[in-house]
């Protein structure tokens, strides 16, 4: 069996001068493409926040607007396709 390499973590650290990822954080991609390795679309955030992006993308909250011009997506930065 070949071990999984946390490629999102490797790329994020390389792009951010090899900064450490806090113990309570995960590297997340802003879109729903799990193969995304674009450094500008990878962020470090808490695991619960990371997992909530799944629901946001699944239910298309990132494309819906509330009253006015406010996107329904609660994330900062907002999720994208």
- The pLDDT tens digits of the residues spanning 12-28 come to 999 999 999 998 899 98
Is pLDDT at 52 greater than 90 in this prediction? no
Q: Phi, psi at residue 27, to the nearest 5°?
A: -90, 125
Q: What is the mean pLDDT of the chain?
A: 85
Across the range 62-69, mean pLDDT stands at: 82
Residue 5 confidence class, pLDDT cut points 50, 70, 90: confident
Type and span of the H or E element at 75: none
CA 77 – CA 5 distance, rounded (Å): 26
Residue 1 confidence class, pLDDT cut points 50, 70, 90: low
């Amino acid at each position: 069996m070949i071990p999984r390499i946390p490629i999102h973590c490797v790329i994020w650290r390389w792009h951010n001068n090899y900064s450490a990822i806090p113990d309570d954080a995960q590297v997340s991609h802003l879109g729903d493409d799990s193969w995304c390795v674009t450094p500008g679309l990878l962020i470090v955030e808490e695991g619960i926040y990371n997992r909530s992006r799944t629901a946001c993308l699944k239910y298309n909250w990132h494309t819906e607007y509330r009253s006015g011009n406010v996107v329904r997506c609660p994330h900062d930065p907002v999720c994208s396709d």
